């Protein structure tokens, strides 16, 4: 109960996380940015950052030549690099946005902190348990630097409403969170499949840099362009979609890494060579005596994206809106309440920039990204091994 009250208080007062120290910029200082990975998401994040006051992009790194050509239009004058390490060598850059496939996050995040750059790391923070430990340890060594994990829900106005609704006197004992994420696409347009362009050749694409520490393979432009379909580089809907839903409630409720996770499902819809399931159920058992269950599928969008937090005294329903409903059996005098806190434009990126300037704390610090990354890896390991997996907290290993 103390952990829950402490987390709710932190969220409500905006103090979650730790303010950076010696390398914090002044309140009016310009933040000079670099971007590693200018795909769809990297481009979106760069546009958001450039729309924030007093931010400029000085460098962009990508392994595909066409993206570097497109970068010139987004950030005229920015230095362009095929090797992200050359970007990190630039002393003029204060902070980097990393928006590469998950299997590259560990190496690039650690390298950025060691180069004394603030880091916005797109979700999920880490792809493996080993990466998660290395990234957390690098963050602990990087005193004076800000790290923000890209779970944008953590900067939503709904965090304040959820914190207010999550008070023990309103919710009572929470035993269950039911969540889901569903989408659909037209016939002949499989989820996440993107076209391969003629210039995606070894001359224009740094294949070895894409592989990183993943298993070595011959050049394959399809795997590069559609990395979300393959287990060497992605956890599919688990790392893309479960992770932000976990992050929101891990932040609000202060939940620890689950002690047991079971994932079932399969490739029920898209028989196109992908390795990542398109339909799945994940059950996460937490030591707080709380069961977080999640369903996801790409064959019907009726249910959309939502969570239900179920307590003995009340419930919280979260989708595009957030609402509290009392359980009259225990709160006969209780009334329904609807959240009304708006989300500021570009809230998560702005929070990152504010944290660099010492005006705020990061809304999704490393410790939330760490717990979410481990939970997601447990789900993927359960699916791969076709059994329930456990978390050994002492050894920090999945068993």
Percent of the chain scored above 70 by pLDDT? Answer: 93
For β-strands 55-61 and 79-81, DSSP reports them as: parallel
3-state secondary structure 87-152: HHCCCCCCEEEECCCHHHHHHHHHHHHHCCCEEEECCCCCCCHHHHHHHHHHHHHCCCCCEEECCH
pLDDT band at 22 (very low <50, low <70, confident <90, very high): very low
pLDDT at 2: 41
pLDDT of residue 12: 41
The answer to whether the beta carbons of residues 59 and 93 sit under 8 Å apart is yes
In three-state secondary structure terms, 220 is coil
State how far the Cα of 363 lies from the Cα of 267, in Å rounded to an integer: 35
pLDDT at residue 27, as a whole number? 63
Would you say residue 10 has pLDDT above 80? no
In this predicted model, what pLDDT tens digit does every residue of 41-64 receive, in sequence order? Answer: 999 999 999 999 999 999 999 999
Distance CA 147, CA 18 (A): 10
What is the model's pLDDT at position 18?
38
Pick the more confident residue, 14 or 51: 51
Give the Cα separation of 270 and 14 in Å (integer).
43
Which residue, 306, 309, 265, is CA-closest to 180? 306
Q: What is the predicted pLDDT for the residue at 1?
A: 41
Interacting residues of 271 by C-beta distance below 8 A, sequence separation 6+: none
Q: Which of 9, 80, 25, 11 is nearest to 248 (CA)?
A: 11
Neighbours of 284 (CB within 10 A): 26
Question: So what's the pLDDT on residue 24?
Answer: 62
| Mean pLDDT value across the chain | 93
pLDDT of residue 23: 61
CB 67 within 8 A of CB 39: yes
Q: Quickly list DSSP for 319-345.
A: SSSEEEEE-TTT-TT---EE--PPPPT
DSSP state of 228: G
For 174-229, the pLDDT digits (tens) are 999 999 999 999 998 999 999 999 999 999 999 999 999 999 999 999 999 999 99
Of 281, 277, 269, residue with least CA distance to 189: 269
Q: What percent of the chain has pLDDT over 90?
A: 91
Contact predicate 372/238, CB 8 Å: no
Domains, in order of start, for the chain: 13-154 (3.40.50.720)
**Residue 65 pLDDT more than 80?**
yes
What distance in Å separates the CA atoms of residue 176 and residue 174, rounded to the nearest whole number? 6
């Amino acid at each position: 109960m103390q952990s829950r009250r402490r987390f709710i208080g932190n969220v409500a007062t905006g103090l979650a996380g730790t303010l950076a120290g010696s390398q914090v910029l002044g309140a009016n200082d310009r933040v000079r940015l670099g971007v590693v990975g200018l795909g769809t998401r990297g481009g979106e994040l760069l546009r958001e950052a450039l729309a924030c006051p007093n931010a400029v992009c000085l460098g962009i790194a990508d392994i595909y030549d066409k993206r570097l050509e497109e970068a010139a239009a987004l950030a005229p004058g920015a230095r362009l690099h095929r090797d992200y390490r050359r970007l990190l060598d630039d002393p003029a850059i204060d902070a980097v946005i990393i928006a590469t496939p998950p299997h590259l996050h560990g190496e690039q995040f650690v390298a950025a902190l060691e180069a004394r750059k603030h880091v916005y790391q797109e979700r999920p923070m880490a792809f493996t348990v080993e990466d998660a430990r290395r990234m957390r340890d690098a963050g602990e060594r990087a005193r004076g630097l800000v790290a923000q994990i890209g779970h944008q829900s953590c900067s939503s106005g709904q965090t304040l409403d959820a914190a207010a609704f999550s008070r023990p006197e309103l919710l009572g004992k929470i035993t269950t969170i039911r969540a889901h994420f569903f989408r659909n696409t037209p016939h002949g347009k499989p989820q996440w499949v993107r076209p391969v362009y003629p210039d995606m050749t070894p001359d224009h694409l740094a294949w070895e840099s894409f592989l990183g520490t993943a298993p070595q393979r011959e050049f394959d432009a399809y795997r590069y362009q559609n990395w979300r379909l393959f287990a060497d580089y992605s956890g599919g809907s688990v790392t893309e979609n479960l992770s932000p839903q976990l992050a929101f409630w891990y932040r609000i409720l202060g939940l620890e890494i689950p002690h047991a996770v079971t994932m079932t499902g399969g490739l029920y819809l898209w028989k196109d060579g992908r390795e990542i399931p398109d339909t799945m159920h994940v059950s996460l058992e937490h030591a707080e005596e709380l069961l977080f269950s999640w369903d996801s599928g790409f064959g019907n969008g009726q249910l959309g994206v939502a969570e239900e937090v179920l307590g003995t005294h009340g419930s919280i329903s979260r989708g595009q809106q957030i609402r509290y409903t009392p359980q009259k059996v225990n709160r006969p005098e209780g009334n329904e309440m609807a959240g009304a806190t708006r989300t500021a434009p570009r809230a998560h990126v702005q929070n990152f920039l504010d944290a660099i300037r010492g005006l705020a704390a990061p809304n999704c610090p490393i410790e939330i990204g760490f717990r979410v990354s481990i939970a997601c890896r447990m789900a993927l390991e359960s699916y791969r091994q076709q059994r329930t997996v456990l978390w050994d907290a002492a050894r920090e290993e999945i068993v």
